[in-house]
Amino acid sequence: MRFALFLALAHLKRRPLQTGLALLGVGVGGAVLLTALSLTNGFVSGLVRATLKAYPHLVLFSLSEELPPFPTREHPEVEAYAPFAATKALLTRPAEGARGPGVDFATLVGLGEGGEALYPDLGLRLEPGGIYLGSALQQSLGAFVGDRLYALSATQERVELKVLGTFRTGNYLLDSAYAFVDLKTVERLSGIRAQGYQVRLKDPWRAKEIGVALAGTRFFPQAWQDTQRTLLEQLSLQKRVLGILIFLIVAVAALGVANLLVFKVVEKTPEIALLRAMGASRLTVGMVFALEGVFLGIGGVLLGNLLGYLLCLYLSLRPVDLPGELYFLTHLPVEMRLSDFLLVSGASLVATFLSALLPLFRALRVQPGVVLR
């Protein structure tokens, strides 16, 4: 074993440039894969966090005309709830001074008592006749805090509103199309009464389970995963496809390791024959090239993890800006996971070791008598 270890290290040190390129190939492939997975994790998690800043974890739609009382006030997973009604409206801002008029469509979400606690990150302080605009919607309207807006419903009802503030979730779809008002404002504008309850939970991922428990026969539950199902499935598929495609980079780097080891076997064929003639076993000869593959794999994995970590750290400190109208988020967050590092490290080691099998078997087939003759 020590003899095989000595020869493996000697072979790798003899051609440092080729060894370094093989290590760099495996390392860069692993780093790119880790960075891509971390960016995908960050994009998915960031989009979910941004969405849930202004989107209910759970909605209980009333099955009767009169809104029943909330099913329970002491459920351990319920943090807040409030009656709600939502409607589409055309928001207009009249021209004022040097500012031209502004107009845009929006979804008005009317919240009743307890509505502020549903979205603590938004800082809502709802009052009759007031409105909170998403940041992109506010820019589209050219409105500022204190301005007067007019909301026009599909039934031609018109309500004057005062801009109380703005909110920013980071999800462009919400920031550009959502506004929060008092429940009575929506009732007066659209003529509809409270449609049910919006619920905030301690664990949003349990929304389906808790919705079934709370609904009973008086409500129809709708978890946020149901309304965002298509988006979540697309993001999950994107991550799997991206992982497969970038893993091919690691496979190409592993082929570089195989090429290096095959070259070494061809170059060292006389030495292999001499060693065999001097009494070295096939196992010893095979162990030499197996160890070379292991060293290149471990070295490449460590280098890839280091490069991947540093690159992810850089991108987390200086996130990439995104056009929100195309990618939903306005910047690209990074989320590193230990499971991804372990997965990429294991895949890289397996790919590198498998690439060493071809030169290993070729070395085992060397016949000393034929070569030395």
pLDDT tops 70 at residue 367: no
Going by pLDDT thresholds of 50, 70 and 90, the confidence category of residue 372 is very low
pLDDT tops 50 at residue 33: yes
pLDDT at position 218 is 87
3-state helix, strand, coil in the chain (%, to 5): 55, 20, 25
pLDDT at position 121 is 87
Domain ranges for the chain:
2-51+231-372, 58-224
Going by pLDDT thresholds of 50, 70 and 90, the confidence category of residue 1 is low
Residue whose structure tokens are 């397996």: 350
**pTM of this prediction?**
0.71
pLDDT tops 80 at residue 36: yes
pLDDT at position 359 is 65
pLDDT at position 277 is 58
88 vs 72 pLDDT, higher one:
88
pLDDT tops 60 at residue 373: no
Rounded to whole angstroms, the Cα distance separating 34 from 335 reads 10
Going by pLDDT thresholds of 50, 70 and 90, the confidence category of residue 225 is confident
Strand pairing report for 130-134 and 158-167:
parallel
Of 284-288, 350-354, 364-368, which has the strongest mean pLDDT? 350-354
Q: What is the pLDDT of residues 226-268, one digit of tens each?
A: 888 877 787 778 777 777 776 777 777 677 666 666 666 656 5
219: left (phi over 0), alpha (psi -120 to 50) or beta: beta
Q: In degrees rounded to 5, what are phi and psi of residue 192?
A: -95, 150
Q: What is the pLDDT of residues 96-123, one digit of tens each?
A: 776 778 889 999 999 988 888 899 888 8
Rounded to whole angstroms, the Cα distance separating 71 from 218 reads 9
6 vs 247 pLDDT, higher one:
247
Q: Which secondary structure element, helix H or strand E, spans residue 96, and what is its range?
A: none
114: left (phi over 0), alpha (psi -120 to 50) or beta: left
pLDDT at position 58 is 93
Average pLDDT, the chain: 80
